[in-house]
Amino acid sequence: MKRLLTDRALPEQLPRWGVLVLESHHSPKFVMEWRTHPFVKIVYVLSGRGTFFLGRKEYRFVAGDVIVVPPGTRNRIVDDPACAASLYICCVARSVMQFDLSLIKRLPCRVLPRESGFANRVESVVRRMVYTQQSTTLTRPISMVIDALKLIQIISEISSETQEIGRGATDYRRLIQQYVDSLPDRFFEETSIDAAAGQLNIPRRKFTKVFAELAGDTWLRHLRRLAIQHAQHRLRSTDIPITSIAFECGFNDLSTFYRQFKRYSGMSPGEYRATAGPMNRTN
């Protein structure tokens, strides 16, 4: 089945929950007039190339790039005559971020290239949003809002320094150092070293070598150490069940948690809590 091509920019009419994803496949005759909108617009370039105009600035884009358009920013797109673009456009109402409107101010207003290492994460979230939007389940609105906030989070974490770096050895170290620094707050989300290297768009061998140099240990042992440190903190400061703490730390298998905890702590979780936990301090 052929994709439906469009000659004009699609209408951007958000639903009541404030999140909309548009799939826009441009024909060779595509024309877009200037637009200004009250919501955040995040564009993922599936294919093609061209120029994106943001206010008085213009940016070249290619497949894999992400364009961020904050509210109130005059914008338009002009395709390369030889290679019309296909885009996924995520529109997020200000009301979705009402709990912290400073999120909007922290968003960059520019084209973020795939080389910055985060485009794979953006692509994954957008793909899920497209699928969810087509569903008819009662949870569709909340799922769309959750993923929209995830998208905002991914983009807001990209510093201006990260946006400018390329693929040199020094830049690899900078990207991986930023990743290492972020792990204490997200160690439980990590699935594999391949996924981590892919997220940063860095070859696995290079990622493994530089990570070990910066963290002082392998990827897996570093994550396990962070998990056990978090478990120790929870055992010292709370009375919640050990099974719950194991879950928080990313362990689905309780026996694995016990084994790793004893390896790093020299005692079982129960023994640790008995010597350092809240009930012991009370007594």
Residue 168: inside a domain, yes or no?
no
The enclosing domain of 47 has a CATH number of 2.60.120.280
Same domain, 152 and 255: no
Same domain, 32 and 98: yes
User: Are the C-beta atoms of residues 258 and 227 closer than 8 Å to each other?
Assistant: no
> What is the sign of the dihedral through the CA atoms of 196, 122, 155 and 134?
negative
pLDDT digits (tens, 9 = 90+) for 127-174: 999 999 998 899 999 999 999 999 998 888 764 444 444 445 567 888
Residue 178: inside a domain, yes or no?
no
Whether 229 shows a pLDDT value over 90: the answer reads yes
Q: Contacts from 272-278 at CB under 8 Å and sequence distance 24+?
A: 272/232, 272/235, 273/235, 273/236, 273/242, 276/232, 276/235, 276/236, 277/235, 277/236, 277/239, 278/236, 278/237, 278/238, 278/239
Domain containing 266 equals: 219-282
Higher pLDDT, 168 or 201: 201
- Indicate the Cα dihedral angle 172, 148, 65, 10, nearest 10°: 180
pLDDT, residue 167, reads 47
In sequence order, what E strands does the chain have? 6-8, 19-31, 40-47, 49-54, 57-62, 66-69, 75-79, 86-92, 110-112
Radius of gyration, alpha carbons of the chain: 23
- Indicate the Cα dihedral angle 12, 17, 23, 29, nearest 10°: 0
Q: How many domains does the chain have?
A: 2
Whether 177 shows a pLDDT value over 70: the answer reads yes
Residue 149: inside a domain, yes or no?
yes
CB atoms within 10 A of CB 228: 21
Same domain, 26 and 149: yes
Residue 275: inside a domain, yes or no?
yes
Mean pLDDT, rounded, for 209-216: 93
pLDDT, residue 269, reads 95
Share of the chain above pLDDT 90, in %: 63
Banded pLDDT at 202 (limits 50, 70, 90): confident
Mean pLDDT of the chain: 87
Same domain, 30 and 154: yes
The enclosing domain of 247 has a CATH number of 1.10.10.60
Same domain, 139 and 43: yes
DSSP class per residue in 121-134: HHHHHHHHHHHHHT
pLDDT digits (tens, 9 = 90+) for 16-67: 999 999 999 999 999 999 999 999 999 999 999 999 999 999 999 998 889 9
User: Are the C-beta atoms of residues 85 and 9 closer than 8 Å to each other?
Assistant: no
pLDDT, residue 232, reads 95
Domain boundary among 125, 143, 162: 162
pLDDT, residue 115, reads 57
Residue 227: inside a domain, yes or no?
yes
Residue 197: inside a domain, yes or no?
no
pLDDT, residue 164, reads 41
Same domain, 34 and 113: yes
Same domain, 21 and 157: yes
